[in-house]
Amino acid sequence: MSRIRTLLALSLCALLVLPAVAGAHPGQRGFGRTFPHASLLCAKVANGHTPKRLQGSTDKVATSCALLKTNFTDAQNAYTTGVAPLKQQATDAITALRATCRQAHADHNPAACKTARQSTRATIQGLRTQVQGLAKTYHTSIETARKTFWDAIRALKGGSSATPDTTTPPAPTTSLPSDAQVTG
């Protein structure tokens, strides 16, 4: 009997955690995960623990950190602001498709539903292309901010000893309706 209770308790815990996991946004990385080395350096400087080799340039490092954070936030906001209406358009297109197909089914007119599906599929593909463009813009902005930050740090006395961030992670992910949702 205790095994059943244990299993039941674990299942209940899993059900409580599931909405939190489902609500997470994969690809939405924070400043620390996007720029791991820069965020550590910035945190040290903000806490008054500037590395010895950069102690004469604390103000310049702090200014560069502030600029990097601002550029990161601006890039995320631009992406999120650009993607939100595209997601809404995709949702509206699927809703209109379902209504059209319901009416076509009631009217015994499968051709109307087929035409609506083709149109919706083309609309969704166009929206995906726009999201990809926004992702490229995001990536370029983040990469430029990273390079600018590390160029400024490297130019400082003792800055060449700092370990730079060498790669930029992918843009945040955005899920638009799939072809299966258009077909189904």
DSSP letters, 45-77, are HHTT---GGGGGGHHHHHHHHHHHHHHHHHHHH
Residue 123: other Cβ atoms inside 10 A: 19
pLDDT of residue 184: 64
Give domain status of residue 84, yes or no: yes
What per-residue confidence (pLDDT) applies to 2? 59
Establish if 22 belongs to a structural domain.
no
Question: Does residue 23 form part of some domain?
Answer: no
Is 5 among the domain residues? Answer: no
> For tokens 């197909």, what's the residue?
101
Q: For residue 20, tell me if it sits in a domain.
A: no
CB-based contact 168:38 (threshold 8 Å)? no
Overall domain count for the chain: 1
- What pLDDT does residue 17 have? 43
Note down the domain range covering 117.
Answer: 28-183
In a domain, 122, yes or no: yes
**pLDDT in single tens digits along all 184 residues of the chain:** 556 555 444 444 444 444 433 333 434 678 888 999 999 999 999 999 999 999 889 999 999 999 999 999 999 999 999 999 999 999 999 999 999 999 999 999 999 999 999 999 999 999 999 999 999 999 999 999 999 999 999 999 988 888 888 876 776 778 887 777 777 6
Is 98 part of a structural domain of the chain? Answer: yes
Phi-psi region of 108 (alpha: psi -120 to 50; beta: other; left: phi over 0): left
The model's pTM is 0.76
